[in-house]
Amino acid sequence: MQSEVLTPAKTEEVLDEGSGHGGPPGGGDFGGGDSRPWSVPARAYRTGMWMALVGITMLFAAFTSAMVVRQGISNDWAHTTLPRVLWLNTAILLASSATLELSKRVLATNDFRRFTAWLDVTAVLGLAFIAGQLLAWKELRGRGVYLATNPSSSFFYLLTAAHGVHLVGGITALFYLVTRARVGASRQIGTLLPIDGGRPVGASLEGQVVPGLRTPVEVTAIYWHFMDGLWIYILILMMTRL
């Protein structure tokens, strides 16, 4: 049974065609004489995610510019030595990106067990990263370096916390994916489980237990890798500036 489970959702592939098919002049993507129900294309989710990442980029750009200005205008900036556990955390986070990528790959090969296993590993690595960050905070606290001790430590806590909150969002998404995959698999029936909430995805999903999982996995992966890259950026920023 399980080999059938993870056949990539056909509906999404159909939807991905986008504006490719003929029709009246101009762009646009939907409609036309076909009787297919209206639906939200998978790429809308990717667009939405990329836009969310643009917003997050602006957030951290604002923090960065505040940091550069705050450091430049005053003479009260004291160096904050980064806790060494950050390097371990970095390795853990990079590894989590790799495991998520593995999970994405096995999704295509229909190996349900390995798919959820890699997702689990990714989520655990994510949690380990958060735990590691808390250890870093604990180390600073041990040194007597708190949020308000110095502008430099203020930015350390601010940047790590802001990144951590976003990563927790990613971990939540991973748990959601795992749960959804397991619930879908346990039903072992071809019900329609579209992802958009509100509109049906399509009627051609019979025989698939976890239809429409490809897009959420893909979108979560975009987010997760971005958080990875964002952390590297923050790390470099802190190494060069704090």
CB 180 within 8 A of CB 213: yes
Question: Considering only residues 2, 4, 17, 32, which one is a binding residue for other proteins as defined by CB under 8 A?
Answer: 32
Q: How far is CA 114 from the centre of its chain?
A: 19
Question: CA of 88: how far to CAs of 79, 103, 104, 137, 241, in Å?
Answer: 21, 22, 24, 14, 20
Please say whether the dihedral angle defined by the alpha carbons of residues 50, 51, 52 and 55, taken in this order, is positive or negative: positive
Q: How would you classify residue 192: left for phi > 0, otherwise alpha for psi between -120 and 50, otherwise beta?
A: beta
Cα angle 124, 112, 42; round to 5: 85
We find the least distance from the C-beta atom of residue 130 to other proteins, in angstroms, to be: 19
Question: Considering only residues 37, 190, 207, 229, which one is a binding residue for other proteins as defined by CB under 8 A?
Answer: 37
What b/e readout covers 145-172, taking b as 16+ CB neighbours within 10 angstroms? beeebbbbbbbbbebbebbbebbeebbe
We find the least distance from the C-beta atom of residue 100 to other proteins, in angstroms, to be: 19
Question: Considering only residues 52, 85, 102, 124, which one is a binding residue for other proteins as defined by CB under 8 A?
Answer: 52
We find the least distance from the C-beta atom of residue 71 to other proteins, in angstroms, to be: 10
| Interaction mask 169-208, other proteins, x per CB under 8 A | -------x--xx--x-------xxxxxxxxxxx-------
Written as six digits, the tokens of 76 are 């009260």
Nearer to other proteins, 48 or 207 (CB): 48
Residue 31 is a binding residue for other proteins (CB under 8 A):
yes
Residue 74 is a binding residue for other proteins (CB under 8 A):
yes
Residue 121 is a binding residue for other proteins (CB under 8 A):
no
Stretch that binds other proteins, among 6-14, 54-62, 83-91, 113-121 (CB under 8 A): 54-62
**Binding region for other proteins (CB under 8 A):** 19, 23-34, 37-38, 40-41, 43-45, 47-48, 51-52, 54-63, 65-66, 69-70, 73-77, 147-148, 151, 154, 158, 162, 176, 179-180, 183, 191-201
